[in-house]
Amino acid sequence: MGARMIQQGYYSVVRWRPDPTRNECKNVAVVLVDAEGQFGGVKPAPISAVSSKLREQGLLDSMIHGIASQFDSAAKPDLEWLKQAHLQMTRSLILTEPKRTAVPDPTQTLEALYSTLVKPPSVRSSNQTKGRVLDKVIDAIRGRGLQVRRGDYFHDFLFDAIVLNGKKPVALEVLSFASQAKSFTSAEHDAGHFLFALENVPVERGVAVVQAPLEPDVDELAQTSYARVRRWFGSAGVEAVTPEQFSARPLALNH
């Protein structure tokens, strides 16, 4: 078998600058293309690893997803596209000047660039923050071809996610009681805000994705708050599911 052909590629790093006056940036994704648009893609960091603020997560997710969607079009991004994007993206989202790289395999090269330039430090898998659970929820929705807006306002209310399913939107709330938080008051506030918002917006329905405490017999504070919120959702007639249940059937939203 002959040696694998080495192709020429170009990459840029997507950098997030939430406050232009402070000029502090985080690497949040890497983009790989070739000169003719024959191969390429974008590999982003988990949004929750970039920002803990819901509205910032929404803005960043929208911009990164906009870049990724370019690779689903018939005319895929090429080197000229990357150069123009570098010149145009100079505010909150910055695209570094394209650099050359050898590409023996596009998928492996993109993964290697991501690991070297973007990948955030690993965190304990047991620490299931709201942001990490929301990452999985968004991935599950998009994996089924549905449109979703993360951390966005709808009729004056900020929702964790709004699923656009062709009829009235479906509003989503994500809560986690499996984090290392010392208090779950903020989760209760989020649940109350969600229930109030559902009474005042024209959505098809609301769905709550709730991560239970991982060790209910140990963390009494988390268990008490979790049980309280589940009672609220039950009394209001709002469907509450686990992240696993939601990931298994996100298409249930599309009816």
For the chain, the maximum distance between any two Cα atoms, rounded to a whole number of angstroms, is 67
Sheet of strand 205-211: strand arrangement: 147-154, 157-164, 170-176, 205-211, 239-241
The whole-angstrom separation of Cα 77 and Cα 173 is: 34
| Whole-number Cα distances in Å, 148 to 121, 145, 253 | 27, 10, 11
Tokens of 121: 């430090």
Taking alpha carbons only, the member of 101, 90, 95, 88 closest to residue 33 is 101
3-state SS, residue 96: coil
pLDDT above 70 for 85: yes
Q: Residue 180 — very low, low, confident or very high, per pLDDT cuts 50/70/90?
A: confident
pLDDT above 50 for 1: no
The whole-angstrom separation of Cα 211 and Cα 209 is: 7
pLDDT above 70 for 37: yes
Q: Residue 121 — very low, low, confident or very high, per pLDDT cuts 50/70/90?
A: confident
Question: Does an H or E element contain 201, and which?
Answer: none
Average pLDDT over residues 56-75: 92
pLDDT exceeding 70 applies to what percent of the chain? 93
pLDDT above 50 for 2: no
Q: What is the pLDDT of residue 21?
A: 72
Q: What is the pLDDT of residue 4?
A: 63
Q: What is the pLDDT of residue 181?
A: 79
Average pLDDT over residues 97-114: 96
**Domain residue extents for the chain:** 7-117, 130-253
Average pLDDT over residues 28-52: 95
* CATH code of the domain occupying 130-253: 3.40.1350.60
